[in-house]
């Protein structure tokens, strides 16, 4: 193989590893075997099609290869996002023909899975970091979805918005503009300050639908530190927010770590 072809194959492989199957280099996936086949093959058109033409039932992501990048952890997919995405696919009625607001969308895997598999009426990805928002917009387009301002948007697809949302400063008036029926968040309970901010924005969301039922809220998280989880439930109690745990579901689709304890809380605002 010529040097330029070898370089092209290497770049293609790196792109494949980064974007395919939620950008996870799975321990069970034969990356070395794939690389050997690519280097021995003169035709990688099939792989190009996988990268450039994501199918309706798949999610393609561009992510950072570092856990912390540009001062944020939001440029990679975390396990609770995979867990929540799988739960959503198993419970599509919670999202079908409804407006969904996601808090702390990160790389966007959960929302993209819901948009493709659960048929929401509208979906709002949100985050506060400019680099995360930029990546989110790219991932929305990468998956064949259109942003709300696109006049060529597919009418059969949900209305998709990417919004900058700082939990500490957003107001009831700003949240009211979203009019969400459902609010979700995954892996956002990483420190006491974030927990307090999250509970604060949930209280404001409860007040943003005047004379209407408050949105349903599902929060998924990995139990890394029991004290952090206890703080979250304590703060919910102080805010008068009731909750119950959703039944644990079995891992079927996504490669999150099986030994980690996962939970989804169904909150009543």
Choosing among 3.40.50.150, 3.40.1080.10, 1.10.287.180, 3.40.50.2000, the CATH entry for 79-268 is: 3.40.50.150
Residue 106 vs residues 33, 41, 136, 180, 261: alpha-carbon distances, Å: 31, 36, 7, 19, 21
Asked if pLDDT for residue 20 goes beyond 50, the answer is: no
Asked if pLDDT for residue 230 goes beyond 80, the answer is: yes
Burial of 151 (0-12, 13-18, 19+ CB in 10 A): exposed
Q: Domain extents for the chain?
A: 79-268
pLDDT tens for each residue of 135-176: 889 888 888 888 875 544 556 789 999 999 999 999 999 999
Among candidates 106, 111, 134, 135, which has minimal Cα distance to 124? 111
Query: What does the pLDDT read at residue 121?
Result: 96
Q: Which of 153-157, 185-189, 198-202, 265-269 has the highest mean pLDDT?
A: 198-202
Sheet strand arrangement including 159-164: 159-164, 122-127, 99-103, 182-186, 216-222, 262-268, 242-245
Q: Which residues are bridge partners to 99 per DSSP?
A: 122
Within 13 Å of residue 254, how many CA atoms lie on the same side as its CB? Answer: 25
Among the ranges given (37-46, 112-121, 247-256), the one the predictor scored with the smallest mean pLDDT: 37-46
Distance CA 23, CA 16 (A): 8
Dig out the tokens for 250 from the structure: 């079995």
């Amino acid at each position: 193989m010529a040097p330029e072809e070898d370089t092209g194959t290497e770049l293609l492989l790196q792109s494949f590893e980064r974007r395919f199957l939620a950008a996870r280099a799975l321990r069970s996936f034969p990356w070395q075997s794939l690389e050997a086949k690519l280097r021995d093959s003169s035709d990688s058109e099939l792989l190009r099609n996988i990268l450039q033409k994501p199918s309706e039932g798949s999610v393609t992501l561009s992510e950072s290869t570092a856990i912390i990048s540009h001062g944020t952890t939001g440029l990679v997919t975390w396990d609770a996002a995979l867990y929540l995405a799988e739960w959503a696919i198993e419970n599509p009625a919670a999202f079908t023909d409804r407006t969904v607001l996601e808090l702390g969308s990160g790389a966007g895997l959960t929302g993209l899975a819901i948009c493709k598999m659960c048929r929401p009426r509208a979906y709002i990805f949100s985050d506060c970091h400019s680099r995360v928002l930029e990546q989110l917009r790219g991932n929305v387009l990468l998956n064949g979805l259109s942003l709300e301002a696109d006049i060529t948007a597919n009418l059969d697809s949900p209305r998709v918005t990417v919004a900058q949302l700082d939990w500490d400063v957003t107001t009831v008036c700003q949240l009211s503009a979203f009019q969400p029926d459902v609010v979700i968040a995954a892996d956002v309970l990483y420190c006491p300050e974030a927990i307090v901010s999250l509970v604060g924005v949930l209280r404001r969301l409860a007040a943003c639908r005047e004379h209407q039922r408050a949105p349903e809220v599902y929060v998924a998280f990995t139990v890394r530190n029991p004290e952090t989880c206890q703080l979250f439930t304590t703060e919910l109690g102080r805010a008068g927010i009731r909750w119950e745990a959703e039944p644990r579901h079995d891992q079927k689709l996504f490669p999150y770590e099986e030994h980690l304890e996962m939970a989804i809380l169904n909150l009543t605002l």
